Amino acid sequence: MKYRASCHCGNVAVEFEGEIAEVLSCNCSICQRKGSLLWFMPRDRLTLLSPDQAASSYEFNKHLIRHRFCPRCGIHPYAEGTDPKGNAMAAINVRCVEGIDLAALAVKHFNGRSL
């Protein structure tokens, strides 16, 4: 299925395909504060609908993940990083995906505070 995700004001938007059945709820210091529900995919399957420079980036701790957010409205639609094998990955904040039924998704809890 094809999806579109964006920040609140629409300044940062992405498009991707896949089957979102399970999402991850992380309790690390940033994900808990943002309330993100994440779905991971290879970065090359994510298409930016807005210019890359439309999104600001925030990195913390080990600087392994670029948390991408809109500098205008502050919403974080996606992040970029690498998996343990070194593959480029994207993490979609499914709360920013248009038309998705969040209640229908299985939620897996991840202890990000332990990293």
Q: Under CATH, which number does the domain 2-109 receive?
A: 2.170.150.70
Q: Residue 7 burial (CB < 10 Å; 0-12/13-18/19+)?
A: buried
Average pLDDT over residues 43-65: 93
Q: Is the pLDDT of residue 40 over 90?
A: yes
Average pLDDT over residues 86-93: 97
What are the residue ranges spanned by the domains of the chain? 2-109
pLDDT interval class at 12 (50, 70, 90): very high
Residue 24's pLDDT is 96
Distance from chain centroid for Cα 101: 17
- Alpha helices by DSSP H, listed for 1-115, are 29-34
Q: Residue 22 burial (CB < 10 Å; 0-12/13-18/19+)?
A: exposed
Which residue has better confidence, 64 or 53? 53
